[in-house]
Structure formats: structure tokens, C-alpha cells
Amino acid sequence: MDPLRATKVLRRAGTRLVQTPHSTPRLPRSHPLSSAAMRPRRLGPLLLLAACGDPSDTPTTASAGITSVTAPSSTGAATSDSATSEPTPTTSAGSATAATDATTDAPSGDSSEGDASGTSTTGTSEPASGTSATDTSGDTAASDATTTTTGEGMSTTTAGDGTTAEPCPIGQDGCPCGQSDICDPGLECQAGLCGPPAPPVCGDGDVEGGEQCDDGNKTPGDGCENDCTPTPAPATDPCGFPSDGVWLEIDYSSAFTSTNPDWTYSPTPGWGEADWAPQGESWPEVWDIYQNVEVEDDQIGRVAIVDGNGALQIMFGIGGLTYDYATVCVQGRSYSVGSSVTFTVQNQLNKCGATGTMANDWSIHSTGVDLETCIVDNNEFQGLRIFASGGSGALSLMRLRFTLHGAVY
């Protein structure tokens, strides 16, 4: 614009002009359009912290007299810088930009040539990265619980969140228990809680639960099957008599003395070894009547030699039992190689019995004797005697089974 024209315009506006010799009229320094007023202001202390800012933080921009500060949230880890800091300006286009760790509004800058009034700092809070979240919903399950026993025989369980469950009477199913606590009938204290006992284990040697037997193993065919039920008896015994009653058997094939054979009993629930015991005894016995029966190795195996001077007697009782008829199955051979042997089996209580004959060849023979009703019902002290009564006069006895058919007990 032409200086003269500009002077006229300013005079119309009531502005006093200062004119020096040989110069263009100029405005007072205080006028907004003076060149002095248009020079960039010094931001004073506001610019002193330029080197202290963290370039990774949110930038702060000061422009045209207004400084805007965006501060990160103070949530999370605390900063080690001062709670209040000033932005670092840049000289680009009259603006200043600086990073700051401020968590509050920054103070306005001070100018040595101008007034900094009107400059404001605005703080904006945003979530900081890495801030940990806190669950306040109460939905998180407590991992720890405390059980307390009261003096009234009740126990309460306090969860990790402080809530207390309803009292649980000691002894009831599912309630806590200790070493001195007694669970209700049918329950056991296991793992700190009353509950049903563990199911029985077949093969552990203990008859429990619904087990009918448990011989400590799971070998089939040995008298107790691998499901803890008795081994089914064969349809008949070696002599052809039906296996439809209760029976006992003595076996000398692995014995050392005449009074200690191996014993086997019928797999009949409710009638076993103890039930065969004579009065005053715990189990049945074998007596060597004349103390002269020897156990020897014969051509057929180990046997008891019962000759004309010896006799063996099985002592037994059948208190509380009745039956239809009795049989005896004898296995062995005639001890003599020249002739067969005749033997007698009888009840010594009433001298009722029967006889049988056995060949002398080197094989095991099975001979059955029917005693009919020679055994006295419901009698607790009886003796079944066997002895050689003819022929060679010597019996090699390996095995004897005594059966009461149609037994009721």
C-alpha cells in the first residue's frame, strides 16, 4: 500500500502516527499492527523444559498463544517425573510442541515482551497402555475356603470371598469330618468328607459288600472266581454222585502227616468250614485212631497207608442241618500189588456204614459208598471212620469226599 494512503487511513481511524525525518510514518510499538508486536514472543520459562520431555508421551502443542496439553492417565504405575511439567516448543510456524509426563494442567507461559494472559492448558486423561484391569464384578470364583467346626456339632464353610455356606451337620453325607468325628451309619470319613464306603475290591482277601468269597487272588477255578463268587461245583463228584448238597474233602497228595491233610469245602453260602466243626472245636479234624497211619509216596502219588491195624476218623458236627442221604467217594488204590482191597466207611456214633472195593493196579481208582441215612441229623459230634476190612488189607488213600445230599440248614 502507498505510505501516504496508509497514513490517511490510519488518521481516519484516530491512530497517532510517528514520523521521523526521511522515513515512512510508523505505528507505535504498542499498536497491534506494529512490526515489534508482530515479532515472535519469547515463551520464557515455558520453553525451558524442552530437554526434559519424554518423546514417547502424548505431545503438547502451543500455538497462537494457546497451549494444549494431552496427558496420559495416572492409572497404573506411578511416574517418577514431577506431577507438573512444561511443554517443549518447536519454532515451526510460531508453534511449540513438547512431550510431557504431566498428570495435571501445565501453567501458562510467561513472555518478557508481551502478556501471556489468555493462554490456557487443557489436560486430557486417557487409559495408559499396560494398565492392569481390576475385576470388581464379584463373578470371580474363590479358590480358597475355610471349614469351621462349631460347638454344636455343625461345620460351616467360609469361601475366599467371605461368604459363609449353610451349616453342615457333622456325620451327614457330604459334610466335613475329622479323625475324631463319626459319620452316620453306612458312611465313612474319606478325604475329609463323610460319604458312602468305597466299593469292595475283589481279590484283596476281604469279603465285603456283595462278595460271596475273596481268596486274595483272581485265579478262576480255585474255589473263588475272579468275580468273588464261589467256583461252581461240577455236576457230579469223581465217583458219579451228584454235587447237590454240602460236602467236605480231605486230600493227602501234598500232606506230611495223617492228621494234616488239605481240606476243601463245598461252595455253599452259609455252610463252610466252621459249620462242620464238632462240638467244642473251631473246625473239623482227622484223628489217627491207633497212631500208626503213615503218609508215603506211592506209585500213584502221595497217600496215607491205612492197613488192617490202622484207621482214620473225620470228626464233625452238623448242628442245625438235615439232609436226604449221605455218600462217600474214596480215591486211591490197593496198596498190595497182588490183590484188591476192601474198606469200610461208617459213622462211629451208631456204627452205621457201608463197604467198597478198590483195585491194585497203578492208577487212581474212585469208589463210591452210599451211607443212606447213617449220619444223624442235627447232631454236633459224630465221627466218620475208614479202615481196611478185607482183601489185601491195606488201602492207599489219596482223597475222600463226604457229601450230605439235599441238605437244609
DSSP letters spanning 137-178: SS-SPPS-EEEEE-TTSEEEEEETTS-BPPPEETTSTT-B--
- Domains, the chain, in order of start with CATH, read 194-232 (no CATH), 245-405 (2.60.120.260)
Which one of 132-141, 206-215, 266-275, 310-319 scores highest in mean pLDDT?
310-319
Cα gap 52→101, rounded to integer Å: 10
The mean-pLDDT minimum among 159-163, 193-197, 254-258 falls in 159-163
For position 127, what pLDDT does the model report?
Answer: 44
* b (16+ CB within 10 A) / e for 26-42: ebeeeeeeeeeeeeebe
**CA angle, 54 then 56 then 61, to 5°:** 75
Half-sphere exposure (Cβ direction) of 200: Cα atoms closer than 13 Å:
16
For position 348, what pLDDT does the model report?
Answer: 98
Phi, then psi, of 93 in degrees rounded to 5: 55, 35
For position 150, what pLDDT does the model report?
Answer: 55
Q: Which class for 268: exposed (0-12), middle (13-18), buried (19 or more C-beta within 10 A)?
A: middle
Region 8-28 average pLDDT: 51
Q: What is the pTM of this model?
A: 0.48
For position 337, what pLDDT does the model report?
Answer: 83
For position 115, what pLDDT does the model report?
Answer: 43
SS3 state at 299: coil
Which one of 72-86, 100-114, 126-140, 212-226 scores highest in mean pLDDT?
212-226
Spatial strand order in the sheet of 95-99: 95-99, 59-63, 66-68, 121-122
Tell me what the pLDDT averaged over the chain comes to.
Answer: 75
For position 221, what pLDDT does the model report?
Answer: 76
pLDDT band for 167, please (50, 70, 90 cuts): confident
Above 70 in pLDDT, residue 292? yes
| Block residue for cell numbers 489436560 | 123
For position 134, what pLDDT does the model report?
Answer: 42
Cα gap 98→87, rounded to integer Å: 5
The mean-pLDDT minimum among 39-43, 259-263, 381-385, 403-407 falls in 39-43
For position 334, what pLDDT does the model report?
Answer: 97
Which cell numbers hold the place of 404?
450230605
